[in-house]
Amino acid sequence: MKFFTDSITRCAARIGTLNGFERLPNVSFETPLLLIYTKNGSVPHLTKDIFKNVTTKEQILSVSLSSSVLMTDVIKELDISFADFVSMKEYINFLSIHDPACTTTSGFQQLDSISIWTRTGRIVVSAKKYMEFVQAYKPDLYVALCDGDTNINSSAKRMSKAVHRSKTLLEQCLDIHLNSDTLKSKGILGSIEGGYNLQAREESISYLKDKPLAGFVIDGLHNNGPSVQNVASEQIKQVVQHTINLLPADKIRVSMGCWNPVTVLDLIELGVDVFDSSYPYIVTEQLQALTFLCEHDACKNNQYAISVAEKRYADDFSSICNECKCLACQNHSRAYLHHLYHTKEMLVSVLLMIHNTHSYLQFFSIIRDSIKNGTFSELKKKIRLKYAANFETNTV
């Protein structure tokens, strides 16, 4: 995998190109980039055919070990890649450790292993065991095993332990990676740990920056799950800025988690390149439809999201957004979505996921265009105003 960027500034919004994947050599992606969130390798609520109607463009699927690890025995027995097993071989696969949409249970870390949580309980994963999973999955890009179990309330001692444990785990993963015929041509990312302790972050970066890595994950800022959408940019800005200022400019930077669009824009302005789409999934689970991109008067959408469960939409036969080109908005009304919710039809989640995924992919396209034409600051102001007007009374 190769990453190219014309930006020589360490801490600034930038356009880059991600390509050189061994399995799909002709595929190329422009950053800032959105990884498509999956559970078990599939986009939640959407069949493959429906997802292809949402977007016909090439995408990178974000696959978490915690949501898919129970498939491993079958994948090994069939001796095929994870992408082949879930019939998504036309998409690049990015393997992470924890599911960004589910709150990760804290604790249970050991000297040379971490715990992941599946629907059947806890699994202890050492570096050797993790790399066995990776070799079975054969992802195009993956995160080395790490201890990201820190947040703003973690003690200095806990943050320091996360750094040291992650260094040990990375050494073991990297050794196996470089000596594996299956993996040595794949991209491996190192996680920068240390929570909110700047000195611990510096120690983590000092160890990682000269390693043969495809890029870095800015980890340890949260424990995943829906609460991440309420983390304000001000809380993480100093840590992220300090971190990125110490990183080489020619490596990709990733931040996982369901950050809200305002925080995404602030992180992009600091130089983060890659995010995942767990946010539109979380919004879907909360029965909301994203409207923060609406600018026209026809929709009268002055909120960043609407809840189809609200009574006011029972007789509203307009679409979620009159200008939206997604399948949901082109064919169905708010009243119909409201009806589906009250009759407990699964179709409501399908239609909301279609709309929210479409909207978020459009959001990242707009971001890239704004960086290229010099209007990124104006975009930030517009989105921030939409959220500021509603955040206190309509927290997503």
In sequence order, which residues have a C-beta less than 8 Å from that of residue 328 and are 6 or more positions away? 319, 320, 337, 351, 352, 354, 355, 358
Residue-wise DSSP of 142-191: EEPP------TT--HHHHHHHHHHHHHHHHHHHHHHHT-TTTTTSEEEEE
Among the listed residues 364, 354, 310, the one whose alpha carbon sits nearest the alpha carbon of residue 332: 354
318: number of Cβ within 10 Å:
15
Q: Is 329 annotated as a binding residue?
A: yes
Helix (H, G, I), strand (E, B) or coil at 64: strand
Tell me which H or E stretch contains 192.
strand 187-192
Q: Is 326 annotated as a binding residue?
A: yes
The Cα–Cα gap between 106 and 162 comes to 12
Among the listed residues 146, 148, 138, the one whose alpha carbon sits nearest the alpha carbon of residue 187: 138
Tell me which H or E stretch contains 37.
strand 33-37
Which amino acid is residue 209, in one-letter code? K
**For the chain, first and last CA: distance in Å?**
36
Residues at the binding site are 324, 326, 329, 355
Binding residues for Zn(2+): 324, 326, 329, 355
